[in-house]
Amino acid sequence: MEVKIGVQNAPREIVIESSQTADEVQSAVAKALEGTEKLFSLSDEHGRRIIVPADRLAYVEIGEPAARKVGFGTL
C-alpha cells in the first residue's frame, strides 16, 4: 500500500510502498500524535525502516492497497 508522509520544513514528501495494512499505519500515526511514541516509523516492502520524529509530522496519506503488477509495466 502506498503511504505518503509529509514532514514539516521539508520540501518533499516521503512516499513508500508498505506491506503494512491501513489499520496498522493508522495505529502508528495515532500513537505518534498522542505522544505515546516520540518517533513515527514504518517499514517498506524491502524491509527498510522510515523513521520521522512525531512532532515533525505534517500529514500521512494512506493509499489503496496496490495490486501486484504483471508484465512489462513492472520494469
Residue-wise pLDDT tens digits, 3-40: 999 999 999 999 999 888 899 999 999 999 898 889 99
Q: Which tens digit of pLDDT belongs to each residue from 48-59?
A: 999 999 999 999
**What sign has the CA pseudo-torsion 11, 16, 21, 25?**
negative
Nearest 10 degrees: Cα torsion 24, 25, 31, 32:
160
- C-alpha–C-alpha distance, residues 70 and 37, integer Å: 38
- In the predicted structure, residue 67 carries a pLDDT above the cut 70: no
- In the predicted structure, residue 73 carries a pLDDT above the cut 90: no
Cβ neighbours around 57 below 10 Å, total: 16
Residue of 74, 14, 70, 9 lying closest to 25 (CA atoms): 14
pLDDT score for 15: 92
pTM check: above 0.75: yes
CATH architecture type of domain 2-74: Roll (2.30)
